[in-house]
Amino acid sequence: MSVPSRRWVTTAEGLRLSLLDWGGAGRVLFCLHGHFGQGAIYHMLAAVLAPAWRVVSLDQRGHGFSDHAVTYRRDDYLRDALAVLDGLGIERAVVLGSSLGGVNAYQLAARAPGRVAALIVEDIGAVCRDDLSWCLSWPSAFPTLAAMQRQIHSYFCESAVQRDDGWGFRFDRAGIVQSGQNLNGDWWTDWLASTCPALLLRGGRSEILPVELAEQMAKRRPGCRLQVFPEAGHNINEADPVGYTAAVAAFLAQLP
């Protein structure tokens, strides 16, 4: 199994973005995680896809080892993604996005179609309505990692970091609330604007992507296939990593 290199790209606004690059000479799969996540979640996928695919996964602004930002607007995320592709000299990539990253992926395809060869979107819709302010109720710090793990789901604890006042998170909670507010909206125009091959993944138990919306997204966008994971919720990669990886690999294998 290859070990990724942690690399850095500085945006035009001076934001330092962290990414993991598994390297190799294969085609590029550019991965964008969801809120509260980080690029490291794609390690299993990268191992399975090598050497045919070079996986590059970004810690999006306010997440992982990337800088926290002042703003988390839609265009901020898209500029970040293009800055990373430009910084690595990648002209064109298949873009995989989970939740927040899924909207970023299909909006990138809509607004910079020459940079996106195909799309994989995990459990997010063309219409978003969510409120992430619940995360502000967490303590500002936990006395131990074990105390954090007793109170907070393991997904969030993957971003735990020890500081002088105890254990906290690498991600920017206030920034994520702002990001979530900016993610809310009707993005049908962006979803339908691109024509590259697309795979839409839905967790059968998801409370984020309603089945009716997922079916309409697949029906209305040419070249899109919907795949459902009946036992998974919103985070398919966590609930069914083997099935998720197999679905992504199968989609990539049939691309021209």
Domain boundaries defined on the chain: 5-128+171-253
The pLDDT value given to residue 193: 98
Give the DSSP H/E element, type plus range, for residue 185.
Answer: strand 185-186
The pLDDT value given to residue 1: 52
Classify domain 5-128+171-253 by CATH architecture. Answer: 3-Layer(aba) Sandwich (3.40)
Is this structure's pTM higher than 0.75? yes
CA distance 33 to 198: 17
Is the separation of the CB atoms in 99 and 123 below 8 Å?
yes
Residue 116, token pair as written in the block: 């996106």
Q: What angle do CA 115, 119, 120 make, to 5 degrees?
A: 145
The pLDDT value given to residue 2: 78
Q: Collect all residues with Cβ–Cβ distance below 8 Å to 137 and sequence separation of at least 6.
A: none
Q: What is the pLDDT along the chain (256 residues), one digit of tens a residue?
A: 579 999 999 999 999 999 999 999 999 999 999 999 999 999 999 999 999 999 999 999 999 999 999 999 999 999 999 999 999 999 999 999 999 999 999 999 999 999 999 999 999 999 999 999 999 999 999 999 999 999 999 999 999 999 999 999 999 999 999 999 999 999 999 999 999 999 999 999 999 999 999 999 999 999 999 999 999 999 999 999 999 999 999 999 999 9
